[in-house]
Amino acid sequence: MARTLGLAALLAGSTLLAAAPAARADEEALRKELEETRRAMEALRRRVEDLEKGAATAGDAAVVRPPSAGAGLGTVTAPNSRKIELSGQVLAWAERWDRSYRPNDPMGLDVQDQGWLRVSLQADADIEEDLSARVEIRDARIEGTEPATNAQTNSPGTGTDLKQGWFEASDLLRSGTSVRAGRQVLAYGDHRLIGDQEWSTYGRSFDALLLSREFGRTRTRVDAFASRVIERGAGTVTPGVDNDDQDLFGVYAATPKALHHSDLDLYFLWLRDLLDAPGERAGESGNTGFATAGARIAGVKGSLDWAAEGAVQRGRVAGDPLAAWAGHARAGWTFLDAKWKPRVGVEWDAATGDDDPSDGDRDSFQTLFPSNHEHYGILDLVAWQNVQAFRAGVKFRPHEKVTVALDAWKFRLFDSEDAWYGVNGAVIRPGAAGTSADLGTEFDLEVVWTVSKHFQASIGGAHFADGEFVRDTGNGGDTNWAYLRFVVTF
């Protein structure tokens, strides 16, 4: 037994002695590999330092190098940003108008076939913790209006412009408040008073300072903003006058599920226009400054959905005292168990008008800056101003990617002595005492096919049967409109 143990010990010792040189060889190889890695990391560090020095000489910002002759688009670097994401959109559509009533064509005599192209390119930069920025360039043009594709001639209302350009500090001084400054989109609620107007060629944005904060368990978000809408007289100095600018200020609070199944929005807006404009009475004029205060609820419970909004306005328009109001209510029922998930809905909208446009008192609700295409019919014939609108409609999905909507609208003026206001609040036709308040009836059809998350196609049309007000105040006739629209996002 002792001999056996001694032999085993001798064999084990021999094995360890044999393995020692192999272990030493592996250790040496590992040292060489670590040394090579260290040298590679040192070279990478020097490379990063060189890049940072180059960025610093260019203002410590993103460097855009122009392409050399025969090169592609060049290079874009942003060494001080953690991440930059690029996105874009190409939107093309064609439409045909037949007797469309507009402020520049109040008699509705125009017949027009028109094509549009809109291209957007957006860059979102995650610069560092709690600091981000966005730049969006948008080009819009009417097809066929340039004498040649290389002429670079733009029609009125077209061309290339800065759609957005802002930076945001998301937790300023660890206060929980975010601050966004620059050109930006402001849109709230159903966009009835402040909206992005994305149906139009450019859409809408504001040069604004926006402060936002979300509070506690209620997740109430409060926005406070100050924006410049129109800059008049830039570069000129008029003593005692702030260059007749137009500004919009506001506070908007939104609380999800504040009223059981309903979201609740509360807002206060102030529009100031320092331009001295003619008042209702001859020879009188003044500035504009009025408040809009309102509330909105919207909710869904099972098959039922609903929304309501009301707003009042007080102040002055062109020196005349303003007292006006507007209201909206809708409800819908979706048959969730039915094959095509049809939804039937009804809606009422009203906004006061002026029963005497020459008495020096304004009673017509001011429409502000809405996205009206989503409301009051797709023909864009009326605004939330001196109107009563009633809608009945149905929407269904014959396919998981296809939505069909049918709507019927009845329009009346709130006061026939006031005016018929278009989608942007401009007068289409003035009213008169004794005219009918019946504006007309509109029928809409839209089909939207969401081919994929990057491609959407839609087709639609509308018919407007003129009412007695149209025939009482000038040339009458029905309106027809059809469109085909494609949107590609990337």
pLDDT digits (tens, 9 = 90+) for 307-363: 999 999 999 999 999 999 999 999 999 999 999 999 999 999 999 999 999 899 999
Closest CA to 347 of 377, 383, 303: 377
pLDDT of residue 52: 53
Question: What span, in angstroms and rounded, lies between the C-alpha atoms of 184 and 207?
Answer: 6
Across 200-357, the runs of DSSP E, i.e. the strands, are 206-215, 220-230, 246-259, 262-278, 285-301, 304-317, 320-334, 343-351
Do 213 and 176 touch, CB atoms closer than 8 A? yes
Q: Which two tokens stand for residue 271?
A: 């529009």
What is the per-residue pLDDT for 155?
A: 62
**pLDDT at 44 > cutoff 90:** no
- What is the three-class DSSP state of 13? helix
* pLDDT at residue 107, as a whole number: 86
Mean pLDDT of 389-404: 97
- What residues contact 267, with CB distance under 8 A and at least 6 apart? 188, 189, 193, 250, 251, 252, 253, 292, 293, 294, 295, 296
Residue 136: per-residue pLDDT: 96
Specify whether the CB–CB gap between 392 and 428 falls below 8 A.
no
Identify the pLDDT of residue 151.
60
Please compute the mean of the pLDDT values over residues 285-299 and round it to a whole number. Answer: 96
Res 26 pLDDT > 90: no
126-183 tens-digit pLDDT? 999 999 999 999 998 888 766 666 665 666 667 788 999 999 999 888 888 999 999 9
DSSP secondary structure code for residue 374 in this structure = G
User: If you average pLDDT over every residue of the chain, what do you get?
Assistant: 85
Q: Binning pLDDT at 50, 70 and 90, where does residue 112 land? A: confident
359: left (phi over 0), alpha (psi -120 to 50) or beta: alpha
pLDDT at 61 over 50: no
Phi-psi region of 11 (alpha: psi -120 to 50; beta: other; left: phi over 0): alpha
pLDDT, one tens digit per residue, over 208-261 is 999 999 998 889 999 999 999 988 876 666 666 667 889 999 999 999 999 888
User: Residue 304 pLDDT more than 50?
Assistant: yes
What's the confidence (pLDDT) of residue 240? 60
Pairing of strands 455-466, 285-301: unpaired
Q: Please tell me the pTM assigned to this model.
A: 0.80
- Strands 402-412, 387-399: pairing kind: antiparallel
Closest CA to 448 of 436, 440, 460: 460
With b meaning 16 or more CB within 10 Å and e meaning fewer, what string describes 367-380? bbbbbbbebbbbbb
End-to-end CA distance of the chain: 82
The stretch 64-69 carries a mean pLDDT of 33
Residue 136: CB atoms within 10 A of its CB come to 23
117 and 141 in contact (C-beta within 8 Å)? Answer: yes
Q: Looking at residues 365-391, what average pLDDT do you find?
A: 95
